Structure 1
């Protein structure tokens, strides 16, 4: 239980404007929401994607609600001291989605207005996750 509580206090939140929308939520709950709501993140992470991320971390997580699966992955990564590796896996996934959006734009130029918005959100998400990685280093030494 303590590890879960420690993760809930995670000081990963930095420069995200829409975080003020959920004042009563913990920072960790906001991170989960950011990553699982496509309108905020610019990407959709499926259960299959989360299962694959888990296997890249060396864990076979059970299929359940996406936010719960993501929470389990964060807890596992923190317990196994693999948070930076997990955040890199997330960044790789976001870059993969951006490449898919780029390919759609190239094949269907009329979609550019829509895909450019998704790409911009996804790139902001990469910046957000990169900031989380910096925070892992900062708080590791405390």
Structure 2
């Protein structure tokens, strides 16, 4: 095997690696799969749960408003980030945060059920929706991690 063959083999190998990497990162989430460490739970949740590319679920302004109404909170429709901040500003105790987690989880479950239904109706989309469902499960786990990290006495 001479140097030309070796370079050609290396080029084919790199092209194959690039193609495999691109196939597994089609939705752009590969570089975002590992959650960062945040000093503030609001920043953590907003950065890790609110972006659909990370959580698999889009929380619309109306979703935030409905979730807040379930907890007897009310605020005007505004920019998502401000609405999220208003929704979270009343959280003062672990019980309050648990109620917020429950609302987000219910919303994620509802959307995951829709995803499952779409995947059954349109089998060619199953892989896409399965990825979103898995991300939603990971987002719920992340909520629990934030709860333990910021709202339990274990970490004091």
Shorter-normalised TM range: 0.7 to 0.9
Aligned length: 124
Q: 5+ residue gaps in structure 2?
A: 1-32
Q: 5+ residue gaps in structure 1?
A: 1-15
Conservation of the 8 A alpha-carbon contact between 2:112 and 2:133: yes
**Separation in 2, partners of 1:107, 1:45:** 24
Does 2:144 align with 1:127? no
Task: Go from structure 1 to structure 2 and tell me whether the alpha carbon gap of 1:79 and 1:64 turns closer, same or farther (over 3 Å shift).
Answer: farther
Partner-residue secondary structure (3-state), 1:76:
coil
Does 2:61 align with 1:47? yes
Kindly name which structure, 1 or 2, has the bigger radius of gyration based on alpha carbons: 2
Tell me the C-alpha RMSD between the 2 structures: 2.7
Equivalent in 26, 36, 45 of residue 19 of structure 1: 36
- Give the TM-score normalised by structure 2: 0.68
**Separation in 2, partners of 1:80, 1:30:** 16
Conservation of the 8 A alpha-carbon contact between 1:51 and 1:63: yes
- Give the TM-score normalised by structure 1: 0.75
Does 2:122 align with 1:105? no
Conservation of the 8 A alpha-carbon contact between 2:41 and 2:146: no
| Pairwise CA distance, 1:26 | 4.6
**Separation in 1, partners of 2:151, 2:47:** 23
Bigger relative contact order (CA 8 A; separation at least 6): 1
